[in-house]
């Protein structure tokens, strides 16, 4: 035993990257942790976001660091040049994009996962069992069968791409993985609304179909896919010889948070023998709220669901997820035999289906741990209440906009996204968004709806309160008035027709 200890101590100076002085390292590490916790606890004391000074950008643009540096000095650079200029989504005033706020619990879990340094591509170890447990929980929440499969990925963009690949293999057979999509593949067509996320088109591109194979269907007045128009387009495509194979419905569109008529789309896909996928990047987790879950009626009939725990689930980035109803079809789309991936009856190479059989990655981090910690620590009831509260705050913002003559609501408020503008032209409103962001008061984003530039507030952060909504409204009015001299543009009513 003494020999082992001596060898271990010697390794610290003979090639190991471990600290030579663990006590000194521990002191600095505790300081880092304390300051990270302080950063979250005192987040309201700093700007939501601030522009990066040129000298700060220049400070991190150095040559390759050939020589070692003191860890305390590296941490000083992080504290001065990186931490103050992050995206800002930890702050309750961040409402620009659908980014979760993260939690202190998730931060600690991420640290613990890094300590284990587990590769979740495969083999027989408990981190994979944690991921399988979350898959089981998701099966139950979404009413999927016991043989359904699931896997953690970077985010819903990747999950949507993987769903396209599973649907492709289901339509063309496993041999398409060897021979390519061939002539049959060129006839496959997919469908989504013109309000669907752009990653759906990108997935069709990457999967080899081309973006033209995605038919973008018009939306109704609520920005949901027009199911009648969808049915008609499928019929037209079949008539001219195309082969419809995939419909992607949105559970929370990127612009305004609309949820497509999932039950009607599910019924149509069953009639037509088409794979039914749901892009539920943030909206799928409304299933955790008894108040909001009915809006997802029909999601339990999907063939696959993509979602992000790092949005409404408040898990630190990144933690995307794909759930597939037919686990065997999922496996057929990705599993690949290789000698170095052979399974054994016992030992570390034992185990059932490995995660690398269900996706493109062999090297995979322990994303499941921070999700497991979040779900276990807060419980789905509390997380569901947080989700419902963000929607209530969106309704509060809607009432503030409707009550203010200088503001205009541009879309119905479905969930947690509010699109509005100062009563002025697009150019003014673009400047207002940048003014508010640079002020550090709040961070909305912009989008275009029906030809008008909109200020978009996506309320996702569990720390956001009515005071943060009030601050956003006040800032928009302040900068809007400054840009227009207080003049409000009022649109003329349409001319009466004879």
Per-residue model confidence as pLDDT tens for the chain (498 residues) = 454 444 444 444 578 999 999 999 999 999 999 999 999 999 999 999 999 999 999 999 999 999 999 999 999 999 999 999 999 999 999 999 999 999 999 999 999 999 999 999 999 999 999 999 999 999 999 999 999 999 999 999 999 999 999 999 999 999 999 999 999 999 999 999 999 999 999 999 999 999 999 999 999 999 999 999 999 999 999 999 999 999 999 999 999 999 999 999 999 999 999 999 999 999 999 999 999 999 999 999 999 999 999 999 999 999 999 999 999 999 999 999 887 788 888 988 888 799 999 999 999 999 999 999 999 999 999 999 999 999 999 999 999 999 999 999 999 999 999 999 999 999 999 999 999 999 999 999 999 999 999 999 999 999 999 999 999 999 999 999 999 997 776 554 444 433
pLDDT for 490: 52
Cβ neighbours of 406 (radius 10 Å): 19
**What is the rounded CA–CA span in Å between residue 192 and residue 224?**
10
Q: Yes or no: say if 324 and 317 are a contact pair by the CB < 8 Å rule.
A: no
Residue 179: its H or E element: helix 176-179
**What is the rounded CA–CA span in Å between residue 312 and residue 320?**
12
DSSP letter for 78, please.
I
Cβ neighbours of 154 (radius 10 Å): 17
pLDDT for 11: 47
pLDDT for 339: 74
**What is the rounded CA–CA span in Å between residue 298 and residue 265?**
8
Residue 372: its H or E element: helix 367-403
**What is the rounded CA–CA span in Å between residue 297 and residue 96?**
28
pLDDT for 198: 95
- State whether the Cα torsion 240-241-247-253 is positive or negative: negative
Phi, psi of 61 (to 5 degrees): -95, 85
pLDDT for 13: 55
**What is the rounded CA–CA span in Å between residue 106 and residue 316?**
6
**What is the rounded CA–CA span in Å between residue 373 and residue 55?**
39
pLDDT for 489: 64
**What is the rounded CA–CA span in Å between residue 370 and residue 254?**
25
Q: Yes or no: say if 448 and 442 are a contact pair by the CB < 8 Å rule.
A: no
Nearest alpha-carbon partner for 85 in 42, 29, 37, 46 = 46
Q: Yes or no: say if 421 and 410 are a contact pair by the CB < 8 Å rule.
A: yes
Is there a cis peptide before residue 318, judged by omega within 30 degrees of 0? yes
**What is the rounded CA–CA span in Å between residue 443 and residue 310?**
18
pLDDT for 345: 86
pLDDT for 260: 98
pLDDT for 7: 45
Phi, psi of 432 (to 5 degrees): -60, -45
pLDDT for 341: 82
pLDDT for 12: 47
- Cα dist from 303 to 107, 189, 231, 282, 296, whole Å: 33, 17, 18, 18, 15
Query: Among all chains, which residue has been given the structure tokens 């059989």?
Result: 357
pLDDT for 1: 44
- Number of helices followed by number of strands (H, E) in the chain: 16, 11
Encoded tokens for 340: 């170095």
């Amino acid at each position: 035993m003494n020999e082992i200890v001596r060898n271990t101590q010697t390794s610290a100076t003979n090639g190991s990257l471990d600290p030579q002085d663990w006590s000194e390292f521990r002191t600095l590490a505790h300081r880092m942790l304390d300051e990270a916790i302080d950063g979250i606890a005192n987040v309201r004391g700093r700007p939501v976001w601030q522009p990066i000074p040129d000298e700060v950008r220049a400070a991190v643009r150095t040559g390759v660091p050939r020589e070692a540096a003191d860890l305390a000095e590296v941490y000083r650079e992080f504290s001065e040049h990186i931490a103050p200029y992050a995206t800002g989504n930890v702050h309750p005033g961040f409402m620009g994009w659908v980014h979760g706020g993260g939690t202190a619990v998730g931060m600690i879990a991420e640290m613990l996962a890094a300590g284990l340094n587990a590769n979740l591509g495969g083999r027989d170890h408990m981190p994979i069992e944690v991921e399988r447990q979350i898959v089981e929980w998701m099966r139950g929440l979404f009413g999927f069968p016991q043989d359904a499969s699931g896997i953690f990925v970077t985010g819903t963009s990747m999950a949507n791409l993987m769903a396209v690949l599973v649907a492709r293999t289901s339509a063309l057979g496993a041999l398409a993985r060897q021979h390519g999509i061939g002539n049959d593949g060129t006839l496959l067509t997919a469908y989504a609304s013109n309000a669907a996320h752009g990653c759906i088109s990108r997935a069709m591109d990457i999967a080899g179909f081309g973006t033209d194979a995605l038919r973008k269907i018009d939306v109704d007045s609520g920005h949901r896919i027009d199911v009648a128009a969808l049915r008609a387009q499928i019929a037209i495509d079949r008539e001219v010889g195309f082969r419809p194979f995939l419909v992607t419905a949105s559970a929370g569109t990127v612009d305004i948070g609309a949820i497509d008529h999932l039950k009607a789309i599910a019924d149509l896909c069953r009639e037509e023998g088409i794979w039914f996928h749901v892009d539920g990047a943030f909206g799928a987790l409304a299933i955790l709220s008894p108040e909001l879950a009915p809006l997802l009626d029909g999601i339990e009939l999907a063939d696959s669901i993509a979602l992000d725990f790092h949005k409404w689930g408040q898990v630190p980035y990144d933690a995307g997820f794909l759930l597939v109803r037919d686990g065997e079809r999922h496996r057929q789309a990705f599993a690949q035999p290789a000698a170095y991936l052979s399974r054994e009856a016992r030992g570390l190479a034992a185990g059932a289906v490995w995660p690398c059989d269900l996706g493109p990655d062999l090297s995979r981090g322990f994303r499941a741990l921070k999700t497991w910690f979040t779900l276990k620590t807060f419980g789905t009831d509390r997380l569901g209440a947080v989700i419902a509260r963000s929607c209530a705050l969106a309704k509060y913002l809607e009432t503030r906009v409707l009550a203010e003559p200088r503001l205009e609501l541009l879309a119905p408020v479905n969930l947690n996204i509010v699109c509005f503008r100062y009563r002025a032209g697009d150019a003014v409103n673009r400047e207002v968004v940048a003014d508010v962001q640079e002020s550090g008061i709040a961070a909305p984003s912009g989008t275009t709806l029906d030809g008008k530039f909109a200020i978009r507030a996506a309320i996702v952060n569990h720390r956001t309160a009515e005071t943060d909504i009030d601050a956003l409204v006040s800032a928009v009015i302040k900068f809007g008035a400054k840009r227009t001299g207080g003049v409000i543009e009022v649109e003329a009513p349409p001319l009466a027709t004879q």
